[in-house]
A and B are shown apart, each in its own frame.
Chain A
């Protein structure tokens, strides 16, 4: 009995937890305890799994003991274990954030109590998608997470959320239909849906059918990963959801699509037949996404645009191919999940502190909310790619891999990557200057409450004078503690620290990513782990 045989628990535990949390929907505290307990257990399990495959092993679990390719197999290798651990870590932080918010607001047992079960099911779907070693199981994983996400996105059922939810549901259903179409055609062409088996059999097909299957899969995953021109649904639907929901969606859902794209490009179709197309798409995703971000006045919408824009970097890494680029992509996925989630949590905090996430109404927050400014500042410059943070390291790895033997098209993409990085910094600095630095009274549509509080703090600072300069800060911190429960601040803080840890331990983590990339490109470990049962 290998420890990795426990891997299916990463899916089963959250599902059991969801059932228990639903039964406990009338006992608010019990329900919270169940969800948090289950997620902690899953986290420990996945940490063990990652430790077991850290050296570069691949381990396949054949469900029910059925031989591959007939039975359903799950795959634990470095890539899937890394994604599992990061996604559970992020969801746990967001769960603390949501729980603390809910406890502070004293929400009643009722329809909103569906949040915790749906949240766990979402996580089960994400884990299933990461572990799946056959296309149809991957589809089922997608459907589990999507159905849970429909519920979470339309939580409360206000007009705005229903409108956003409709776009989201219809787009997701269409992408699932395209994915199913690809599965049906793959099965008709090869007689298998097992990914290892497909990796062996697909090269025998003619170029034409191969290309059709390849592109169909990429379109289906591209919609989920929000790759331009299939990305326009995302900024439209994400920002209206409750803050914790947006945060976890931003971190996980698009990355599941990216994960599937990486598997498609490395395992199923390793030839790089559409790399030129992917490069073009990646360039457009980066540039158009960030231009969209610059035009927004709502902070959450701006973040959604930077989210789609930075997916472009990941696609860029996949399109460049080669061990270094894939390793950098994997590292960048981890960075992107953590940073985007923490920024969306900060957006939730800003909304709570100042009553709005619309930049035109905000100001003075650096004085009014010192802890919040710090929580914003670190992930923001990390996103902008300022050294020495992980964003810089990831981008450097990607660009370094790209320029090794670059053709003109790659050079264009490299230029676009640099430009996007600069424009991200511009977008972030504009938000910083407006929300945090300028006086609340100078906002286009000033919020009287903020103006009043800013005046109070200024008066207090003046009263303290030179003898007692900390007086204004003390009042600001009291005001902050009043509106932001400590759980929300610490949950966000813990993710910010995780982002920093990704920088501090970049050496070993990047080495691990290189091992994983070498394995992905070799393909042999994956295929033999599944087929030689």
Chain B
């Protein structure tokens, strides 16, 4: 099977640029990255079909090797539609995020920060337990100690 090296190089460049952009914090750049990734992958699928050939519509007298492989083209068509839908959804989400926070950046997870700032000391588990020095309890069952009402 012969391989089109230009396509492969372009695929590599598109994917590298795409992954780089996806790592950004700015959402529009992430979106651009995802579009590049989608196109890069589509090109890769096209390359997987092998050498070029006649459009795969039946013509009498043409040997099977003359046609191009139709399956990757069908796969790409599906992939394009899916990427399109996801892009549209992401765009809507980015717009919503911008309306809410008037920033085009992904915000931090506040709960994550809370957990990371928590000390190892846990009030409930680590505080010294008061020793009961009395056998007397009040109506609710709590111990009554000297000097307490």
A177 touches B41 (CB 8 A): yes
Give the chain A neighbours of B27 by CB distance below 8 A. Answer: 166
Segment at the interface with B among A200-208, A294-302, A491-499: A294-302
Question: Which residue of B89, B118, B139 contacts A169 across the interface (Cβ within 8 Å)?
Answer: B89
Q: What size tier do the contact residues of chain A reach?
A: 35 or more
Check if B71 sits within 8 Å of A187, measured CB to CB.
yes
Q: How many residues of B sit at the interface, in one of the four size bands? A: 35 or more
Among A154, A185, A187, which residue has the most Cβ atoms of chain B within 10 A? A187
Assuming the contacts A147-B89, A184-B41, A444-B123, asked whether A163 and B109 have C-beta atoms less than 8 A apart, the reply is yes
A236 to B107, CA, bound (A): 12
Contacts of B37 in A (CB 8 A): 173-174, 177
> Is B115 at the interface (CB under 8 A from chain A)?
yes
Q: Considering the complex, give the chain B residue whose CB is closest to the CB of A170.
A: B30
Beyond A165-B93, A174-B37, 18 additional pairs, beta carbon < 8 A:
A143-B82, A147-B86, A147-B89, A150-B86, A163-B97, A163-B107, A163-B109, A166-B97, A174-B19, A177-B18, A180-B45, A180-B79, A181-B44, A184-B44, A187-B45, A188-B1, A188-B48, A444-B124
The answer to whether B75 and A183 touch across the interface, beta carbons within 8 angstroms, is yes
- As a 0/1 sequence over residues 143 to 159 of chain A, the CB contacts with chain B under 8 angstroms (1 = contact) are 10001001100100111
- Bound-state CA distance A180–B94 (Å) is 25
CB < 8 Å A-B pair total: 104
C-alpha spacing A301/B18, complex, angstroms = 31
Q: Which of A136, A173, A185, A444 has most B Cβ within 10 Å?
A: A173
Q: Are A295 and B100 in contact (CB-based, < 8 A)?
A: no
CB distance B106 to A184 under 8 Å?
no
The answer to whether A140 touches B48 (Cβ under 8 A) is no
Q: Is A32 an interface residue (CB 8 A)?
A: no
Q: Contacts A173-B86, A183-B45: A301 and B111 contacting too (C-beta < 8 A)?
A: yes
Q: How many angstroms between the C-alpha atoms of A158 and B107 in the bound complex? A: 13
Q: Which residues of chain B from 14 to 59 have a CB within 8 Å of any chain A CB?
A: 15, 18-19, 22, 27, 30, 34, 37-38, 41, 44-45, 47-50
Mark contacts of B83-95 with chain A using CB atoms, 8 A cut-off: 1 yes-contact digit, 0 otherwise.
Answer: 0011001100110
Closest Cβ of chain A to B6, distance in Å, is 16
Contact in complex: B89, A150 (CB < 8 Å):
yes
Q: Point out residues on A near B: beta carbons under 8 Å.
A: 136, 140, 143, 147, 150-151, 154, 157-159, 162-167, 169-170, 173-174, 176-177, 180-181, 183-185, 187-188, 193, 236, 239, 295-298, 301, 430, 434, 438, 444, 458, 462
Neighbouring B residues of A438 by C-beta, 8 Å = 124
B145 within 8 A of A: no
21 contacts between A and B (CB under 8 A): A147-B85, A147-B86, A159-B101, A159-B107, A162-B93, A164-B109, A167-B106, A169-B86, A173-B34, A173-B90, A174-B22, A177-B18, A177-B37, A180-B41, A184-B44, A187-B48, A193-B75, A297-B115, A298-B111, A444-B123, A444-B124
